[in-house]
Amino acid sequence: MRTLLLATSALAIVATPAFAAETPAQDQPAAATTTATAAAPADNGGIGEIIVTAQRREESLQKAGLAIDAVTGNDLAQRGITSSADITKAVPSLSIPQPGGNIASIFIRGVGNITTSSYNDPAVTPSYDGVVLGRGGGVFGAAFYDLQRVEVLKGPQGILYGRNATGGAVNIIPAHPEIGRNSMGFNISAGNYNAVDADAHVNLATSAISALRVSGAYSTHDGYNRDGTDDAKRGSLRAQFLVEPSSDLSVRIGADYTHLGGRGAGGSYIGGYIPGPTGYSFFPANLDSSEGFNTPAANAFRAQNIGAPAFGFLSAMNQDQRQDSTYWGVNAEINWKTGIGKLTVIPAYRESSDNSFFYGPAFNVAHTVEKVKQTSLEARLSGKTGMLDYVLGAYYFNEKIKANDEYNQEFVLPMVDYRHKTDSYAAFGQLTAHVSDRFRLIGGARYTHDKKSIDGLINNFITFCGGPPPALITPPASFGAGCATPGNMPYYPNFLNTGDTINWLKSNGWIAGNSTNQPGYQVFPLVNGVGAILKTYNPVVDSRTYSRVTWKASAEFDVTPTSLLYATAESGYRAGGLQMTESKTSYLPEFITAYTIGSKNRFFDNHVQLNLEGFLWKYRDQQITYFTVDTSGTLISSNENAGRSTIKGFDADLVVKPTRGTTLSAKVQYLDTKYNDLHLYTASPRDNIGCPFTYTGAVAGGAPVKDFNCSGNPLLFSPKWTVNLGAEQVVPLNADVELVANVNTAWRDSQWGAFEYLDFERIPAYWTTDASLTVRAANGSLALTGFVRNIENKRRDLAPQASPLGMAVGHFSAPRTWGLRLSGNF
């Protein structure tokens, strides 16, 4: 059946353009607003229009000459998409792996980054209600209720979205208050795993010139893993007030709050790998995808197979995973029509706090205590003069991060405490020249200046056996060697500072009772005489500035009123950054240049839509994150710059509505990606990278550093083929009631999920299918839906990880879920 659907879609893509008819074009409005709706034509039952504001003006999706996917709030609700991870079901180019924690990793066509730390800037810019989010998690993942739409802009957005949008942008746009209308709506569903999802909104006409909209959502379900992880416990609240004192002025003020609880994202052990004379050999864990990290079976596998000496008596996780994160913000949008154009001002303040425990990849429990404060202000002037439409603007962004984290590794306790600050300023402009009624030229530029600073401290407690630490004696002693007897070495609890750690070691008799905490490096002999504990001391203080001009040039031609051709060349830039590592505290900016040619078409009186796009992206100095070692041999997660990469391919998007009640859709993406220059560097025993290597001549922790040449490999999360297929059939039962059947299925080709390029990090190709059956009132007031998601009941490894301790780890998609949903709109 799937083969037949694919063949039919391909035939339609080839054949449909032949039926286009040429008629005079129509001018498009250049007004800049942020409201949008989606409505089908009332007369012929054709394909509905989606109005987007991706170019800072209101326009039909079919008239926007850029690579964009948009999904309306109604479609999201119909498909049960309530989180950012599920939006990938509707957008083939998008991948959102979830390796754990609350920091979202977003990829578009292989461009993105595995964000392991709060100071890592995303390569795909998320925004909420017109406000760019410096961090990709939190409200981005929890805001999927009472929405107008979600827009996914593919490719660099270096002009109107600016800094860090090298891969694209994802815009979450909530439904706004409507003046003169009193209405309300709700969705409530229940399903397996004790799942309950509920959201509701109310719109109140508070006066003739004002309106209030309040909405909220709650979601909960049991863990999909046996240790209780991969659960949900989320509550959100949003309020907006809109006042329009005149036809020239509107002011909208919004506030939102979200709390994430439960245990959070988890994973399972896939197996382990050990070095051998011809490379690494892999052995399976024989645990299924729902085991989790903290069960008797998982802990037994971890204790018996971890790839380091004398670790055969590792303890179980010292506590359950726990998620406790809060996100809130206030923002406003002021629109004022003046004699020279419309002035739009968007001030915003956002704050997030996180106090969570999570299972590290084969480590024990990690603890993060972080607070992020973000202030931003954007001002735009848009209008028209003669043949020119213009958008001119300025942008300011300030972010302050305060973090105190620890990553428990049984006999090693790394602790980091830092303050990170970013100040960013930008000025931008975009001009659209209407050369004729059918032909337009667009050009734009943006200057961005970023300043970053970091001030922190890395402390490590490292237990050595057989003598003092290696750096202090010759020949060096071995970490962990000779201490296989249980009870000979301390298992560290989860402390966030050195003073508490030393007091615990004293009170439990591991070190002398008169030991004190001193600045700098210290050695504490173990009282039992087996070895010693080294406390490291590594301050990290640095500041850097980065500046860049990004540009855009494009052309649009209306072949007919319903057929558009466009071509675009655009550049993008992501600022360099600072990180909490001992040997390399900074990394460089990354740059991308993208070329796109596309066509958007409607045929047969608005009953067939065909959009085609070809693209070529050139990437330089991409920021990547992988495990390596610093000069002392200490394990670190480091941000580095890759060399060059090339991304090319095409998109085809077909929608056919042969009758008023039948809609068929097919989205196909072909993607060919390659690292032209990618070198990774590390030393034994952390050299688990599946690429050819040579020795560099450098030494880290006494071991020679290897240069792994991974050039020629594909980019991460870039499947060669991606296919989304959908079908909807509406059957009237009588004048007041109708039946709606929906089926959506998605194919993802095999893809790589981590930079080590080990065999288990290659995600196999897979299908995922969802279906629903709805009985609803013809006027849309009430609906009852039965749904099933992931009919195949296969949990896919969406975020594989190679633990530096020799373990293969996977983070999996949800199993089959099903339930009933009741919806109402009044």
Q: Tens of pLDDT along 528-571?
A: 887 888 898 889 999 999 999 999 999 999 999 999 999 999 99
Report the CATH number that the domain containing residue 105 is assigned in CATH. Answer: 2.170.130.10
User: How far does Cα 716 stand from its chain's mean position?
Assistant: 13
Identify the pLDDT of residue 382. 95
Confidence of residue 491 (pLDDT cuts 50, 70, 90): confident
Give residues with Cβ within 8 angstroms of 507, minimum separation 6: none
In this predicted structure, the answer to whether residue 825 has a pLDDT above a threshold of 90 is yes
Residue 44 inside a domain? The answer is: yes
Residue 441: is its pLDDT beyond 90? yes
Q: Residue 314 contacts by C-beta under 8 Å, 6 or more apart in sequence?
A: 299, 302, 303, 306, 410
Q: Give the residue with greater pLDDT, 397 vs 7.
A: 397
Residue 471 lies in a domain: no
List of residues 6+ apart from 639 with CB closer than 8 A: 120, 577, 579, 587, 623, 624, 625
Of residues 465 and 211, the one with the higher pLDDT is 211
Of 362 and 291, more confident: 291
Residue 421, domain member (yes or no): no
| For residues 256-279, average pLDDT | 86
Residue type for 764, please? P
Domain membership flag for residue 394: no
What pLDDT was estimated at residue 101? 55
What is the per-residue pLDDT across 574-620, written as a single tens digit (0 to 9) for each?
A: 999 998 887 788 899 999 999 999 999 999 999 999 999 999 999 99
Range scoring the smallest mean pLDDT among 33-37, 386-390, 450-454, 466-470: 33-37
Alpha-carbon distance of 390 to 380, in angstroms, equals 10
Instruction: Give the CA distances from residue 62 to residues 34, 109, 130, 561, 598, in Å, rounded to whole numbers and listed in that order.
Output: 17, 22, 21, 10, 11
Q: What was the pLDDT predicted at 7?
A: 38
Strand partners of residue 644 = 620
- Of 486-495, 550-559, 647-656, the range with the lowest mean pLDDT is 486-495
SS3 7: helix
* Residue 65 burial by Cβ neighbours in a 10 Å radius (0-12, 13-18, 19+): buried
How far out from the chain centre does Cα 7 lie? 32
| Percent share of the chain, pLDDT over 90 | 59
pLDDT for res 296 = 92
Q: CA separation (Å) from 148 to 72, 252, 255?
A: 6, 16, 17
**298 falls within a domain:** no
Closest by CA to 401, choosing from 359, 354, 360, is 354
Q: Give the integer Cα–Cα distance in Å for 790 and 800.
A: 20
Q: Higher-confidence residue: 44 or 407?
A: 407
Flag whether 146 is in a domain.
yes
pLDDT at residue number 713: 96
**How large is the average pLDDT for residues 412-431?**
94
The pLDDT of residue 474 is above 70? no
Q: What is the pLDDT of residue 315?
A: 66
Q: Residue 402: pLDDT above 90?
A: yes
323-354 burial: b if 16+ Cβ within 10 Å, else e: bbbbbbbebbbebebeeebbbbebbbbbebbb
Report pLDDT for 788: 97
**What separation in angstroms does the CA of 796 have from each of 87, 225, 268, 371, 762?**
16, 13, 12, 32, 11
- Residue range(s) defining the domain that contains residue 78: 26-174
Q: Where are the beta strands (DSSP E) in 604-661?
A: 608-620, 623-629, 635-641, 644-659
Total domains in the fold of the chain: 1
pLDDT level of residue 473 (50, 70, 90 thresholds): very low
Q: How much is the pLDDT for 384?
A: 94
Tens digits of residue pLDDT in 69-87:
888 888 888 887 877 778 8
Residue 162 lies in a domain: yes
Task: Give me the mean pLDDT over the 180-195 stretch.
Answer: 96
Find the mean pLDDT for residues 737-759. Answer: 94
Residue 165 lies in a domain: yes
